[in-house]
Amino acid sequence: MKLKVLSERKARDGFESEHGLSFLIEVDQKLILFDTRASELFKRNAARLGVNLEEVDRIVLSHGHWDHGNGLKYIQGKTLICHPGCFVKRYRESEEDNLGLPFTYEQAAERFDLKTFRRPIRLLDHLWFLGEIPRKNDFEALTTRYILEDGTEDYIMDDSGLAVVTEKGLVVISGCAHSGISNMIEHARRVTGHIQLAAVIGGFHLKALNKQTRKTIAYLKTLEGIRVLPSHCTFDPALGQFRKVFESNDVLAGACLTF
């Protein structure tokens, strides 16, 4: 399995960066575009990597936030896979700007071959879309700063990710892990039936050295040999602690990783 970083907060020389996430995953001789950020930047970085996005087999959206899906405005006609709850209007508490996507469900269905799933589904021989992530532990996804249009709390139940089965073990790929990266990993193990973890990469949505960060690190330390690559919405001081404990390198736009 290969992964090219098309959009991240930091970039290699010769590539552009911005807040947002987009990965291109090569597995089972197919190209999967995972998230699209909010601008055409992912397309420009793809061109610099010599990637023709017309060859993408399908797009997978991790969840319905602008910094993961607004780039859908710059691509069309592909199969788009996501949770059915991705298209709601959503906000931060006390703020008026919609954090959601630029399309309604109906508009997305006109623009793409839209396929939505709450349940996990096997996309390719070695690739799974994880569907809705059960929140089972006692330290993740317990509170939220987001609300829906009707004023109710938004726990971002559409949050999902991918799991890839490799020779070295399972690779779990998250967008933001609003459901909790530990919850996501355990769900991926149950769904795929593969216990050994090779790597986890993507946003962990951790910023402080609080109970959640410490318990997440303690959990990841139980997974022997795992490669831990937090990015996107993982900020200092939490990010610095991940670097220290797991000797993690920054995930940079323009990077090409092999698992």
What mean pLDDT is predicted for residues 36-55?
Answer: 96
Do the beta carbons of residue 196 and residue 223 sit within 8 Å? no
CA angle (182, 187, 188) in 5-degree steps: 100
pLDDT band at 217 (very low <50, low <70, confident <90, very high): very high
pLDDT on residue 54: 95
Q: What is the pLDDT of residues 51-108, one digit of tens each?
A: 999 999 999 999 999 999 999 999 999 999 999 999 999 999 888 899 999 999 999 9
Q: H/E element holding 212?
A: helix 211-221
Q: Which helix (H) or strand (E) holds 71?
A: none
- Cis peptide bond prior to 237, omega within 30° of 0: yes
Q: Which two tokens stand for residue 169?
A: 């073990």
The two three-digit tokens of residue 25, written as one number: 């995953």
Rounded mean pLDDT of 181-206? 98
Which residues fall within 8 angstroms of residue 95, CB to CB, at 6 or more apart?
A: none
Taking all residues of the chain, what is their mean pLDDT, rounded to a whole number?
97
The pLDDT value recorded for residue 79 is 98
Token pair 């998230």 is at which residue? 35
pLDDT tens, position by position, 129-140: 999 999 999 999
Q: What is the pLDDT of residue 95?
A: 86
| Structure confidence by residue, pLDDT tens digits, 223-250 | 999 999 999 999 999 999 999 999 999 9
Mean pLDDT on 14-34: 97
Sign for the pseudo-dihedral over CA of 122, 180, 62, 55:
negative
Q: Go through 66-88 and write b for each residue having 16 or more CB atoms within 10 A of its CB, e for each that does not.
A: bbbbbbbeebeebebbbbebbbb
DSSP 27: E
- Paired tokens of 161: 């990710």
Distance CA 252, CA 256 (A): 9
CB 55 within 8 A of CB 22: no
* pLDDT at residue number 94: 82
| Domains of the chain, earliest start first | 2-258 (3.60.15.10)
CB 1 within 8 A of CB 227: no
Question: For a pLDDT cut of 90, what percent of the chain falls above it?
Answer: 97
User: Of 216, 173, 179, whose CA–CA distance to 192 is shortest?
Assistant: 173
Q: Which residues contact 133 (CB under 8 A, 6 or more apart)?
A: 159, 160, 161, 179, 180, 183, 184, 187
